[in-house]
Amino acid sequence: MESMIVETPQHETAAPQVLLHPGQRVGADMVRWRKQGGGAAFARALLAPALVREEIRNSELRGLGGSGFPVWKKWESVSAEPRITDKYLIVNGNEDEPGTYKDRLLLQETPFQVIEGAVVAALANGINRIIFYVNPDLARALAAMKSALEQWQASEFPAQAAKVLGTPLYLKLLPGSGHYIGGEETAAMSWVEGGFPFPRGKPPYPAQAGIHGCPTLINNVETMANVPQIIVQGADWFRALGKGLAAGTKLYSLSGDVLYPGVFELPMGTPLRELIFVHGGGLLSGKPLKAVFTGGPSSTLLTPVDLDVAMDFDSLRARGANLGTGAMIVISEGTGIVKRVAEYERFFAHSSCGQCNSCKVGTATISRLLDLIDTGQGTAADLTTLKYLCTMLPGSGRCHLVNGAVQLLDSAFRHFDEEFRQALH
């Protein structure tokens, strides 16, 4: 997995650069980070923790791990809960979905920005325990975070934070389980507690009863990396970075049949056409565009008629699609949709934790039938069964995995039904 890390090609300048500006990409070098202004957001949070929550609310920052849920709502819920023993923050870096490469890049190149964002969030919400939860396969990201945390702990910052919180601030780097499902927020809590990463039913929600029954805030790595800049530059500045009604920037992971794959930081709401044909250099061999898997494979398909859609949470949702993690997997004409969807559904079937029978059996059945159709052995009855599963399975599991598997399949049927029919025996 580590060999799949990609970055913005050198010929292309992604502007405005907020998270991945070359001047901020100092790796695990605290001296360079501080010379670049690192620690300014932390200093402001020490003086006025409550104002940090207000600034985040005004910034309209949304969760960038896939949900797009307003960050301030999660923060307010956790902040309102009393800290009887502990309050937790999980910085979720379990990134494991095909086509998504943004969080590992932040953890490697800007680890102190992620740490500072997490500590600012802790000060703002009375949190005294931070867990940096990282995919165990991301060796370079883990090494950078380990070094950065050691330097942070050796500085004056921990004592300053403890004085404001009234208790020491505990920071821990925890490799995840290696399971795709481990990125689901309640599964992450189970792993932190020492158990298998089984997702839990909700309610109760983590903000009320999370790790060991304590209030728990869970935010994605990219979300945390935005916090320091918002606190230093202001909410108005952050909102103005986006296009249309969207706020801030987004790290878009572009892969597939494009000339220049990479991770591009662009204004939230950048049109799909610009990402593919300007920053990505267009399609390989000049082939026509066939489809784009948006938000990684657990999402929806866009087609050439959607090229001018703004890539933000609300604009894509209005088209029946999802931004998800911001991963865009480009497919050119000549690539079989049935084969590609079958590959991804095989991934979901393998990734099911088996806790919910509907998910375990449902994803396995979808994968098996798609493999039959892809190899020319499927029948019309198999196709009918797959379409029935798309109506029966959604909402039947404790987490999003089965929903994502069905969402992808249903989207493929909606746009490429004839291709499935032509593949039948």
> How confident is the model at residue 96, as a pLDDT?
86
**132 contacts 117 by C-beta, under 8 angstroms:** no
CA-based nearest residue to 75, from 10, 121, 24: 121
**What span, in angstroms and rounded, lies between the C-alpha atoms of 293 and 87?**
37
Token pair for 29: 């070098």
Buried-state track 129-148, b at ≥16 Cβ within 10 A, e below 16: bbbbbbbbbbeebbebbeeb
* DSSP state letters, 57-113: HHHT-B-TTTT--BHHHHHHHHHHS--SS--EEEEEE---STT--HHHHHHHH-HHH
The tens-digit pLDDT sequence of the chain (425 residues) is: 333 333 443 333 334 457 776 667 888 899 999 998 999 999 999 999 999 999 999 999 999 998 899 999 999 999 999 999 999 999 999 998 888 999 999 999 999 999 999 999 999 999 999 999 999 999 999 999 999 999 999 999 999 999 999 999 999 999 999 898 889 999 999 999 999 999 998 889 999 999 999 999 999 999 999 999 999 999 999 999 999 999 999 999 999 999 999 999 999 999 999 999 999 999 998 899 999 998 877 778 999 999 999 999 999 999 888 898 999 999 999 999 999 999 999 999 999 999 999 999 999 999 999 999 999 999 999 999 999 999 999 989 888 899 999 999 999 999 999 999 999 98
Distances in whole angstroms, Cα of residue 334 to Cα of each of 285, 293, 337: 12, 16, 9
Pairing mode of beta strands 300-302, 289-294: antiparallel
H-type helices in 278-356, by residue range?
Answer: 313-318, 337-351
Amino acid at 416: F
Asked whether the beta carbons of 420 and 372 are under 8 A apart, the reply is no
Q: pTM of the full predicted structure?
A: 0.92
| Residue 229 in tokens | 């800049």
> Helix 49-59 and helix 40-47: axis angle, to 10°?
120
Owner of token pair 């964002």: 117
Order of strands across the sheet that contains 262-267:
262-267, 249-256, 327-332, 289-294, 300-302
> Measured between alpha carbons, how far is 274 from 232 in angstroms, rounded to an integer?
30
Q: Which of 191, 198, 247, 251 is nearest to 5 (CA)?
A: 251
- Between CA 343 and CA 349, with CA 348 as vertex, the angle to 5 degrees is 95
- 135 close to 93: Cβ distance less than 8 angstroms: yes
Domains recognised in the chain with CATH numbers = 17-240 (3.40.50.11540), 249-332 (3.10.20.600), 337-422 (1.20.1440.230)
Between CA 39 and CA 11 the distance in angstroms is 31
409 beta partners: none
3-class DSSP state of 7: coil
For residue 21, the SS3 value is coil
- How far CA 1 is from CA of 45, 253, 263, 414, in Å, comes to 36, 15, 16, 32
| Contact present, 217 and 205 (Cβ < 8 Å) | no
